């Protein structure tokens, strides 16, 4: 903890003064003895980096800005999409189609004009991460994939910056503080990521909109505590939130002496994180796998208009079928496809679809392996159909 404080102090040995409008703005902080005038000045002097301006990044950026963190770095290269607004409260309906960073800058300027936002409109990579991370006192991980999480962790370990971690899926979230001088790091918790495809993303598996609000505000709390040097940070503890049962518990984390990042220190430079997460291997496997023939939504529309005879199979889940469906499609969720194969006619032309084309590609492969020859994958899935053929079919 002391070194975390020193990290901040190294930038703040000459703490900045607060103007009279700042004193009024932060009055509820100033009357907390644990914060006080010095604490608020520490916040003003602090530089906090938020990686990701999405679900977790939204409450993080809003609360850190409101709290008066002087410099807020934001890393994101994405554009605001309508499907983000169910949870990404940093952005509004008017921002759909804008860069997330531009949207964030406007919103944060309104929340607190005393905060300087340093935007990094780039993908965080092994080439730029150390330089970006090193320029800040505290790093907050609001990313949405394993490769970037290991990258953020290693960059924090290598630069001695605390990593305020948060992660969510469906109804459950996790939070901790990694990479402090004596505490564990993300690699001590999970030595390796799961193979690609095993754990669905929030886009595939869904997430309760308020969950990133719960976890992101916990991360913001921890970041502020680290800057102020107060309380007991989540170092060596993993906070587990189950929003469905509304149970919150902590389990104990230990630094792994064999951790290649913070234990043996064999990781001395940033590595290729896509390789580490198996993404390159997965892409190579994709290239060498049997060819999945695709049909575009427009070609499928033309076949229908001609009255061609074929079977259309939807391999999504029943609750997705409820949201939107293609007329005449037979619902066979991917997990039950194998059991249904005997009921399918292998002499007929079969077109398979899902939401965006990934699950249906797996289904086509499964049918090909079962001896089906005339099987096609609908490119872009029902989402592609909605975009290219019939916007009346809802996108979700």
Partner 1 sequence: MPITITLPNVLCRLANGQQTLEASGTTLGDAVADVSGRYPSLKPRLVDDAGNPYPFVTYYLNDEDIRFSGGFAAAISDGDEVTIVPAVAGG
Active site residue ranges: 202, 354
Q: Of 138, 253, 295, 352, which lies in the binding site for partner 1, with binding defined by CB under 8 A? A: 253
- Cβ proximity to partner 1: between 186 and 385 the closer is 186
316 contributes a contact to partner 1 by CB under 8 A: no
Which of 232, 221, 223 shows the shortest CA–CA distance to 164? 223
Q: Are 185 and 261 in contact (CB under 8 A)?
A: yes
Q: Which one of 89-97, 130-138, 155-163, 190-198 is the stretch in contact with partner 1 (CB under 8 A)? A: 190-198
Question: What is the rounded distance in angstroms from the CA atom of residue 117 to the CA atom of residue 109?
Answer: 8
> How near is the Cβ of 10 to partner 1 at its closest, in Å?
29
- Cβ proximity to partner 1: between 214 and 352 the closer is 214
Which residue bears the tokens 């309760």? 208
Q: Are 55 and 76 in contact (CB under 8 A)?
A: no
> How near is the Cβ of 266 to partner 1 at its closest, in Å?
16
- Cβ proximity to partner 1: between 7 and 143 the closer is 143
Q: E strands, 25-103, where?
A: 47-51, 71-75
Q: Which sign, positive or negative, has the C-alpha torsion 27, 32, 36, 41?
A: negative
241 contributes a contact to partner 1 by CB under 8 A: no
Which of 213, 219, 220, 245 shows the shortest CA–CA distance to 86? 213
- Cβ proximity to partner 1: between 58 and 386 the closer is 58
> How near is the Cβ of 278 to partner 1 at its closest, in Å?
11
- Cβ proximity to partner 1: between 253 and 267 the closer is 253
Which of 190, 197, 169, 363 shows the shortest CA–CA distance to 278? 197
Q: Of 89, 90, 164, 168, which lies in the binding site for partner 1, with binding defined by CB under 8 A? A: 168
Which of 122, 108, 32 shows the shortest CA–CA distance to 70? 108
122 contributes a contact to partner 1 by CB under 8 A: no
Would you call 358 exposed, middle or buried from its count of C-beta atoms within 10 A (0-12, 13-18, 19+)? middle
Which of 257, 169, 227 shows the shortest CA–CA distance to 7? 227
Q: Of 15, 78, 171, 393, which lies in the binding site for partner 1, with binding defined by CB under 8 A? A: 171
Q: Which one of 104-112, 169-177, 293-301, 387-395 is the stretch in contact with partner 1 (CB under 8 A)? A: 169-177
Return residues touching partner 1 (CB under 8 A): 52, 54-57, 141-146, 149, 166-172, 174, 189-194, 199, 201-202, 205, 207, 212, 238, 240, 242, 244-245, 249-254, 256
């Amino acid at each position: 903890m002391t070194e975390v404080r020193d990290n901040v102090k190294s930038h703040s040995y000459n703490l900045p003064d607060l103007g009279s409008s700042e004193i009024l703005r932060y009055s509820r902080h100033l009357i907390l003895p644990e914060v006080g005038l010095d604490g608020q000045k520490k916040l003003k002097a602090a530089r906090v980096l938020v990686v990701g301006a999405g679900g977790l990044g939204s409450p993080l950026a809003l609360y850190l800005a409101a709290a008066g963190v002087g410099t807020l770095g934001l890393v994101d290269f994405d554009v605001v999409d309508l499907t983000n607004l169910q949870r990404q409260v940093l952005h509004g309906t008017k921002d759909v189609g804008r860069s997330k960073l531009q949207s964030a800058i406007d919103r944060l300027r309104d929340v607190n004009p005393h905060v300087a936002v340093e935007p990094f409109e780039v993908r965080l990579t092994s080439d730029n991460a150390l330089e970006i991370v090193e320029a800040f006192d505290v790093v907050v991980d609001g990313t949405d994939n394993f490769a970037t999480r290991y990258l953020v962790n290693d960059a924090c370990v290598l630069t001695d910056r605390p990593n305020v971690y948060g992660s969510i899926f469906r109804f459950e979230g996790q939070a901790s503080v990694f990479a402090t001088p004596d505490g564990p790091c993300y690699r001590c918790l999970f030595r390796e990521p799961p193979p690609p495809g095993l754990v669905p993303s929030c886009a595939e598996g869904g997430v309760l909109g308020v969950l990133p609000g719960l976890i992101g505000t916990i991360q913001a709390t921890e970041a502020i505590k680290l800057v102020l040097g107060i309380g007991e940070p989540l170092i060596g503890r993993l906070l587990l939130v189950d929003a469905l049962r509304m149970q919150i518990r902590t389990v104990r984390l230990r630094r792994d002496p064999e951790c290649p990042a913070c234990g043996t220190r064999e990781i001395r430079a940033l590595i290729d994180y896509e390789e580490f997460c198996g993404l390159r291997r997965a892409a190579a496997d994709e290239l060498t796998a049997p060819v999945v023939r695709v049909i575009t939504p427009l070609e499928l529309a033309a076949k229908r208009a001609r009255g061609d005879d074929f079977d259309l199979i939807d391999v999504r889940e029943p609750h997705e079928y409820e949201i939107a469906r293609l007329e005449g499609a037979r619902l066979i969720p991917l997990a039950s496809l194998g059991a249904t194969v005997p009921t399918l006619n292998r002499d007929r032309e079969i077109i398979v679809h899902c939401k965006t084309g990934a699950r249906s590609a797996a289904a086509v492969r499964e049918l090909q392996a079962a001896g089906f020859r005339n099987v096609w994958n609908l490119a872009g899935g029902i989402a592609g159909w909605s975009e290219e053929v019939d916007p009346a079919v809802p996108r979700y």
